[in-house]
Amino acid sequence: MSDVPMPPDILSQILSWLPVSSLLKLRLVSKTFRNLIDSSYVIKLHISHSLDSNTNNNLIFGGDRSLHFLNLDSCDTTSTSNVVKKIDNPLYFALYDTVILGSCNGVVCLCTTEPDNEVAFWNPLVRKFRKMRMVPAKNIDGMGRGICIKGFGYDHVKDDFKVVRLVQYVSLFNELEYSKIEVFGARSDGVRREVGEFPYYLCYRRYFNVFANGALHWLVSEKPGRKGEFLIAAFDVTKDELRLVPNPDIVKENVKVDLAILGGCVCMVCNYPKKNVDIWVMKSYGVQESWSKLISTSDAKLVVELDFLRPIVYSKSGKEVLLEKNFQRLYWYDLESKMAKRFKVAGMPRLFVTELFTGSLVQVTVGNVSKNGKKKEKIDNQKVRKKDDFLSKGFRLVL
């Protein structure tokens, strides 16, 4: 650390407080800074600090094959001058539309719709990605194509990003003929593993995955077609284990229910049509008594013509929650005044799906690289280093 006038540990702590845009510039200062910023220690420290401090928050807006980006930290929630930026879609040239499966640890997972099944693990800020292709879901003669629901999660033990696919075939008599959990890991180049049965009926077939506390969550039932009788099924992507998570004690009559994530906690959105909306948060994971009603509103802006409502993120102050309504509008809901105000952002698609992701420098590695691939990767890395060295000549950071 000859060109840095402080110990690496102290400098790492300072770097973890900076936005990704600043870190990318600092990589060009010297080899020492580049190696430190690219280290797994600083990358993990940076993500951890961002999550703890609710900073480096960004939104991706997905609509068909177009993707748009917005940095929330630089937004003025009271202004109408916020503008989204169009960003290149790694799967733009695929034959089918792009679906945002989710995000975790600074990586966004994109997937094409059936039957293409091309997946991209993508860091939008670094503009780098890795692709893999999942094998088609199993066909059962006389049962059609069945139902495929995908989710995205992160295995912190193996440091591996995973796509989980639920494949179900239901008979004409509403009986589960085939219901399996399949896992595709980034480090195994998308090799399919069947890890067990999924003995539940999916209540909804939305593309959203709800990933929290190392597990993917879905609303399910033990019997088909029973209104108001639902469970929360959770699949641990590290242990390959399926379990049930306790529900909040809610009124189940005439209610539409969805799951969401807010501040790293599992949420349940209860829509009582034309009356009010309740949003519950499970503050201590797996503990039924920890379910708390965060929002209960009859605000006409949210309740009228409501089909779908989802909490996205807390404001920096923690006093407001960003809500997405009907894939068309965003609202900031004030937890104190209990009122909602429209959050207008220029350039958003007419219809969109919103995904929150944490800005990071995470690099996604998929599988083992062949000899030719290693050679090409080595040449590419040499080119990047030469460019960095050229830009860093004559520059020294003074702290």
Domain boundaries of the chain, sorted by first residue:
8-46+375-392, 54-358
**88-143: pLDDT as tens digits:** 899 988 778 888 999 998 899 999 887 778 999 999 998 889 999 998 888 777 77
d(CA 223, CA 231): 11
Collapse the DSSP code of 3 into the 3-class scheme (helix H, G, I; strand E, B; otherwise coil) and give the result.
Answer: coil
Confidence at residue 95, expressed as pLDDT on a 0 to 100 scale: 77
**What is the Rg, in whole angstroms, of the alpha carbon atoms belonging to the chain?**
22
Q: Biggest alpha carbon distance in the chain?
A: 74
Q: 7-10: which pairs have CB atoms within 8 A and are 24 or more residues apart? A: 8/36
Closest CA to 84 of 356, 344, 341: 344
Confidence at residue 147, expressed as pLDDT on a 0 to 100 scale: 84
Q: For residue 32, what pLDDT band results from cuts at 50, 70 and 90? A: confident
Tell me the backbone φ, ψ of residue 335, rounded to 5 degrees: -70, -20
Q: For residue 63, what pLDDT band results from cuts at 50, 70 and 90? A: confident
Closest CA to 210 of 311, 307, 102, 313: 102
Six token digits for residue 135: 């094998």
Just give the CATH number of 54-358. Answer: 2.120.10.80
Six token digits for residue 290: 């920890």
Cis amide linkage into residue 8, ω under 30° from 0? no
d(CA 280, CA 18): 33
Closest CA to 109 of 196, 198, 237: 237
Confidence at residue 79, expressed as pLDDT on a 0 to 100 scale: 67
Asked whether 119 and 184 are in contact (CB, 8 A), the reply is yes
What value does the mean pLDDT of the chain take?
85
Residue 295 burial (10 A CB sphere; 0-12, 13-18, 19+): buried
Helices in the chain by DSSP H: which ranges?
8-15, 20-26, 31-37, 40-53, 300-303, 371-392
Res 31 pLDDT > 90:
no
Give the angle subtended at the CA of 99 by the CAs of 197 and 255, to the nearest 5°: 65
Res 50 pLDDT > 80:
yes
Q: Write the single-letter amino acid at 124.
A: P
Between 174 and 17, residue with greater pLDDT: 17
- Residue in this structure with the two tokens 């190696």, named with its chain if needed: 35
d(CA 325, CA 331): 8
Residue 29 CB neighbours (<10 A): 18
Tell me the backbone φ, ψ of residue 73, rounded to 5 degrees: -65, -30
Asked whether 219 and 245 are in contact (CB, 8 A), the reply is no
Under DSSP, the state recorded for 72 is G
d(CA 21, CA 31): 18
Residues 6+ apart with CB under 8 A from 33: 4, 26, 27, 397
Closest CA to 179 of 191, 190, 166: 166
d(CA 165, CA 192): 10
Closest CA to 333 of 296, 308, 306: 296
Res 372 pLDDT > 60:
no
**320-365: pLDDT as tens digits:** 999 999 999 999 999 999 999 999 888 888 888 899 999 999 987 6
Buried b (16+ CB within 10 A) or exposed e, 185-210: bbbbebebeebeebebbbbeebebbb
Strand partners, 58: 71, 357
Confidence at residue 377, expressed as pLDDT on a 0 to 100 scale: 42
d(CA 33, CA 390): 14
What is the DSSP annotation of 302-337? Answer: HHTT-S-EEEEEE-TTSSEEEEEETTTEEEEEETTT
Q: What percent of the chain has pLDDT over 70?
A: 86
Residues 6+ apart with CB under 8 A from 128: 122, 363, 364
Look up the pTM and report it.
0.86
Res 149 pLDDT > 80:
yes
